[in-house]
Chain A
Amino acid sequence: MSPRVLVVDDDAALSEMIGIVLQSESLEPVFCYEGTGALEAFRSSQPDLVLLDLMLPGIDGIEVCGQIRAESGVPIIMLTAKSDTTDVVSGLEAGADDYIAKPFKPKELVARIRARLRRHDGPDTERLLIGDLVIDVAGHRVTRGEEVINLTPLEFDLMVALARKPWQVFSREVLLEQVWGYRHQADTRLVNVHVQRLRAKVEQDPESPEVVVTVRGVGYRAGAPPAR
């Protein structure tokens, strides 16, 4: 079964064009042309990924993003005509995993979608330790003691990438390549915002992080598991 993509964009021509490209890549597009009906369309279509325009009639993309994120961890990629810091950051903070600035090439769009639909294919029984957390890669679960922590797939991928190589310091560029699938240089703010969101969920005290540790001037690395 081909993965389903919900395209939320008010521009009919662009939506249609995106649809043509998606179909040629054997993805199944579903369309929604305004912000107000977006959540409903999401519920009825159960997509594997959402392409979301930031500027929408009715309620805007950032709000739609928040609504979807509130009930699902499904990957969300924003389509934005503005690459201004504030818009991009507020979109990412509302829960979007990635963004593409208009105008984009079809290949670029497909690459972004593929990166988000990709599943990690590590050994099934893999269990990883990061800080005081345990990651069950096969079961897609993160636990602290008995408590289960809910993460979006992207946040989960970010944790797994860090935890697989606890001795390595990851630069933002490397993380962009491994987690987001960028091959060229990209916006490192993606990493910053998502690390912040992740910390808010997994850290005991986000002010002094112990799970995702900042290495000043370089990037991030996994926090060491507590000594037994």
Chain B
Amino acid sequence: MSTGAERAVPPWLERLRRRGRSAWRRTRARVRALARAWRRSLRVRVSVTTVAVGLIALLTLGAALSGQVRDALYDTRGEEILTDAAVRAEQVQSAFDSSNAARLQDVQQLVWDVLNSVRSTGGPSVLLLRLPGQGTQFPEYVSDYDQRALIRDALREAVREQDTQMWQPVAIGTADGVEPGIAAGSLVTLPIAGEHELYFVYSLAEEQATLDLLQRVLLVGAFALVLLLLVMTWYLTKQVLNPVQQAARTAGRLADGLLDERMDVHGVDELAVLARSFNEMAQSMQDQIERLAHLSTMQQQFVSDVSHELRTPLTTIRMASEVLNSARGDFGPTEARSAELLATQLDRFESLLADLLEISRFDAGAATLDVEEADLRVVVERVIDIVEPLAEQRGSHIVSTLPDRRVRVDMDSRRVERVLRNLLVNAVEHGEGEPIEVLMAADARAVSVLVRDHGIGMTATEAERVFDRFWRADPARRRTLGGTGLGLAISLEDARLHGGTLEAWGSPGEGASFRLTLPLRAGLEIQQHPLELRPPREHVEPEVHRDPAGPHALPDDFMAEISE
């Protein structure tokens, strides 16, 4: 047999352990559930407290009451018993005294008769005991043998010494258990046989029964009261808490945007006042929100209308300008240059108008996604191809690190391409001719594209504001690539529309990085980004070599050409 088998735990023990463990787990779970109910529910807390306090009060009251009653009962009955015992002892003594028995047998007969008559007439148990050291010539009398042990030596000594009536409480054993009793003793003198101890044992069973009954009644009463208390508390807290719960529910629904939600108002009490004030608050909130929403819609509609209205005349101007521009060979130099400026600035005006319209569409919530599954690498490569010539002109080299495998993403390729183009052009503009890295990585839920430049960079405050509309890090800096100032704002909206994120990081002199993260499947929530936004510390180069001549200026219409 192998040692492994010997060491193996027997199956029954294993079962037992498992059962023990699961029982322990169940208990713990139950305790935890109770603790949770205690923490979560005001009602449970109030009810439990009320019942606990009520229970303690009732138990104390009951204990005090039954104690009092017991004492009173015993005092009264005790006095009666002692009087009775004294009377009986005297009767016995006088019966003995009046006897003329001359022989010991007669005395024995006398004792038998007298004591038997006591017992047989419904009296207490009787014991006639010899004084110690008297010898055994005269037999003792014991009406109930099992009570012989009740008479303790201490009592007997006291009886012998005091020569008056002495007594002691005793516990009388019966078939049903133990009942309380009193043993009273005194000395009697028998003819011929001399002094003996006479004891009467009285049972207090009746009194005990009365007391038991009383305690039972008290206990039942207490439980009934506690139950009533519980029901009352439960009901009362329900009365008070129901409106509170309703208020909480209603507030939650209001917060979810269901502005028509109101509380029910019943009666005129304090809770009705609560409900009414709550409803007034909700009403005024709703009015405000609707007013603001209306204003905002009107404003957005206005922007959208203006943009649209501008388009028709702009088209005419545009066509006229193109006709003039294409005929500029026939003009003098002044007119030719004017025609050229007109044409290029119209391009700029047009992209500005397009961006404005796009922003107004986002603001109005009218932007919709045209989602299709596609490989994001293809989009990234296409954008790099588009921006590459511009980057080369600026002396920047674009280095891309893309995954080897396809990255299928549910996306609106047009929007995603626009975002990436904005990020790359932005990187070229601020990249100071340093290399630009494009990284892409995906996990099971999301994909990140990181565009990193090593140019002038920006501060953390600037990185926060970089997505603001028309915002410029340095107002004195001119826009060399003719961007509209809305590109990043639109990109952010595009990312959000996909359920994705767009974040920026920068450090002056170290460059900046922008990270676009998109969920792979529409509706998936992004839990973590496959790429880090900040570069790892050791990769940061403190001094970047810069071209003292500064970035080359680019022709103004470059932007228009690549955005086409």
Contacts and interface: CB of A to CB of B under 8 A. Distances in A.
Interface stretch (B48-56, B290-298, B315-323): B315-323
A102 B311 contact: yes
A90 B311 CA distance: 20
B322 A105 contact: yes
A106 B318 CA distance: 8
Kindly list the 9 A-B residue pairs having the minimum CB-CB distance in the complex, ordered from nearest: A103-B315, A102-B311, A81-B311, A102-B315, A103-B314, A103-B318, A14-B316, A17-B319, A81-B308
B531 interface: no
Contact of B314 (A82, A84, A102, A217): A102
Contacts of B372: 217
Nearest to B326: A106
B408 A13 contact: no
Contacts of B323: 20-21, 24, 106
B368 A13 contact: no
A85 interface: yes
A11 interface: yes
Given A85-B368, A85-B370, A217-B408, A105 B312 contact: no
Contacts of B414: 185
**Dominant secondary structure of chain B at its interface with chain A:** helix
A103 B370 contact: no
Given A84-B366, A217-B408, A105 B314 contact: no
B382 to A, nearest CB: 8
A189 interface: yes
Contacts of B361: 84
Contact of B312 (A14, A106, A109, A184): A14
A18 interface: yes
A228 interface: no
Interface of A: 11, 13-14, 17-18, 20-21, 24, 81-82, 84-85, 102-107, 109, 184-185, 188-189, 216-217
* Best-buried of A20, A104, A105 by chain B (most CB within 10 Å): A105
B312 A217 contact: no
A29 B223 CA distance: 102
A103 B350 contact: yes
Interface in B371-393: 372-374
Contacts of A85: 368, 370
Given A24-B323, A103-B314, 13 more contacts: A14-B316, A17-B315, A20-B319, A21-B319, A84-B361, A84-B366, A85-B368, A103-B311, A103-B318, A104-B318, A109-B319, A216-B373, A217-B408
Interface in B293-350: 308, 311-320, 322-323, 350
Interface residues on B, range: 20 to 34
Interface in B347-370: 350, 361, 366, 368, 370
A106 B322 contact: yes
B564 interface: yes
Nearest to A16: B316
Contacts of A20: 319, 323
B306 to A, nearest CB: 12
Contacts of A102: 311-312, 314-315
Contact of A107 (B322, B350, B366, B370): B322
A41 to B, nearest CB: 20
Given A102-B311, A184-B564, A217 B374 contact: yes
Contacts of A217: 372-374, 408
Interface of B: 308, 311-320, 322-323, 350, 361, 366, 368, 370, 372-374, 408, 414, 564
A81 B318 CA distance: 14
B6 to A, nearest CB: 62
A15 B464 CA distance: 47
A138 B366 CA distance: 45
Nearest to A9: B312
Nearest to A216: B373
Contacts of A185: 414
Nearest to A187: B414
A189 B414 CA distance: 11
Nearest to B349: A103
Contacts of A81: 308, 311-312
B275 to A, nearest CB: 44
Contacts of A106: 319, 322-323
A109 B320 CA distance: 13
A185 B318 CA distance: 21
A82 B318 CA distance: 17
Nearest to B366: A84
B374 A17 contact: no
Given A85-B368, A102-B311, A217-B408, A17 B316 contact: yes
A17 B308 CA distance: 19
B395 to A, nearest CB: 27
A13 B316 contact: yes
A104 B308 contact: no
Contacts of B319: 14, 17-18, 20-21, 104-106, 109
Contacts of A17: 315-316, 319-320
B313 to A, nearest CB: 7
A106 B319 CA distance: 6
A11 B315 CA distance: 11
Given A20-B323, A84-B361, A217-B408, A189 B316 contact: no
Most buried by A among B315, B368, B372, B373: B315
Contact of A11 (B312, B318, B322, B370): B312
A11 B308 contact: no
Contacts of B370: 85, 188-189
A116 B26 CA distance: 77
12 contacts: A11-B313, A13-B313, A14-B313, A17-B316, A21-B319, A21-B323, A24-B323, A82-B308, A85-B370, A102-B311, A102-B314, A106-B323
Contacts of B308: 81-82
Most chain B CB within 10 A, of A82, A102, A104, A109, is at A102
Contacts of B564: 184
A103 B366 CA distance: 21
A216 B373 CA distance: 9
A217 B371 CA distance: 11
A111 B103 CA distance: 159
A217 B378 CA distance: 13
A216 B117 CA distance: 118
A124 B77 CA distance: 137
A226 to B, nearest CB: 31
Contacts of A109: 319
Contacts of B312: 11, 14, 81, 102
B217 to A, nearest CB: 82
A103 B320 CA distance: 12
Contacts of B366: 84
A36 to B, nearest CB: 20
A18 B323 CA distance: 11
Contacts of A103: 311, 314-315, 317-318, 350
* B312, B323, B408, B564, most chain A CB atoms within 10 A: B312
Interface-central residue, B316, B319, B372, B373, by most chain A CB under 10 Å: B319
